[in-house]
């Protein structure tokens, strides 16, 4: 191959590479906004079940706080708090927390709490508990998780936040006491944290998206 044709082939390849790079960059730009909007919609949808009966305005996801350990919330993992407002007044908060004492490891839990400390809903975000036993904590598999609705610290008192076998007021699951203990403990500790830190939670600046 002559030197001239080597240069020509190289130049052609460079042009093709440049065109491809530009196309990829342009496609990314066009789709990025849509992906971000879709992700936000999915997140808002996922948060909603834990906010039953709460009237609120605007998106919940913009008000997110990322709380790094040590924070006093269950799990000593990064926790997320979403603040919920109506007419600029705080009406509720959603906590994504972690219970580490499940049967098969970490259980991620979403706890919705009204401003006065009453639970609006609890949902399991992620777990590895045994199918047919511990997995009944999922709202799709049994009604177990709904027993938290409307409860607060005081209903029952702190000592009542346990399964009936342990002298508490919450149902266990047949053949599975470890998983319910973990979830009940995490929900109780989230409520205690909320009661103690409510003003700071609503006064804090939202954590930027990149964090």
User: Which residues here bind ligand FMN, judged by CB under 6 A?
Assistant: 103, 129-130, 133-134, 165, 175-179
Picking from 125, 131, 116, 149, the residue whose alpha carbon sits closest to that of residue 77 is 125
Nearest distance in Å: CB 137, ligand FMN:
9
Q: What is the DSSP letter of 201?
A: H
Q: Which is nearer to ligand FMN, 59 or 185 (CB)?
A: 185
Nearest distance in Å: CB 128, ligand FMN:
9
Q: Which is nearer to ligand FMN, 114 or 129 (CB)?
A: 129
Q: Which is nearer to ligand FMN, 147 or 152 (CB)?
A: 147
Q: Which is nearer to ligand FMN, 12 or 165 (CB)?
A: 165
Q: Helix, strand or coil for residue 174?
A: coil
Task: List, in sequence order, every residue forming a beta bridge with 80; answer none if it has no partner.
Answer: 66, 96
Are the C-beta atoms of 94 and 54 separated by less than 8 Å? no
Nearest distance in Å: CB 167, ligand FMN:
13
Residues whose CB is less than 8 angstroms from the CB of residue 67 and which lie 6 or more positions away in sequence, other chains included: 73, 78, 79, 80, 81
Nearest distance in Å: CB 181, ligand FMN:
8
- Element containing residue 68 per DSSP (H, E): none
Residue nearest to ligand FMN (CB): 134
């Amino acid at each position: 191959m002559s030197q001239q044709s080597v240069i020509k082939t190289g130049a052609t390849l460079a042009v093709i590479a440049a065109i491809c790079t530009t196309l990829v960059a342009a496609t990314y730009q066009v789709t990025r906004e849509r992906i971000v909007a879709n992700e936000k919609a999915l997140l808002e949808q996922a948060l909603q079940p834990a906010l039953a009966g709460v009237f609120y305005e605007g998106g919940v996801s913009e008000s997110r706080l990322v709380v790094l350990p040590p924070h006093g919330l269950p799990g000593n993992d990064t926790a997320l708090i979403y603040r919920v407002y109506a007419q600029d007044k705080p009406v509720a908060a959603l906590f994504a927390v972690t219970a580490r004492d499940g049967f098969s490891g970490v259980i991620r839990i979403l706890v919705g709490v009204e401003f006065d400390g009453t639970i609006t809903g609890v949902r399991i975000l992620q777990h590895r508990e045994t199918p047919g036993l511990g997995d009944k904590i999922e709202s799709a598999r049994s009604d177990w998780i709904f027993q938290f609705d409307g409860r607060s610290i005081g209903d029952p008192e702190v000592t009542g936040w346990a399964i009936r076998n342990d002298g508490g007021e919450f149902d266990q699951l047949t053949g599975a006491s470890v998983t319910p203990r973990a979830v009940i403990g995490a929900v109780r500790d989230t409520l205690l944290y909320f009661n103690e830190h409510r003003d700071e939670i609503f006064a804090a600046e939202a954590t930027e998206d990149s964090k």
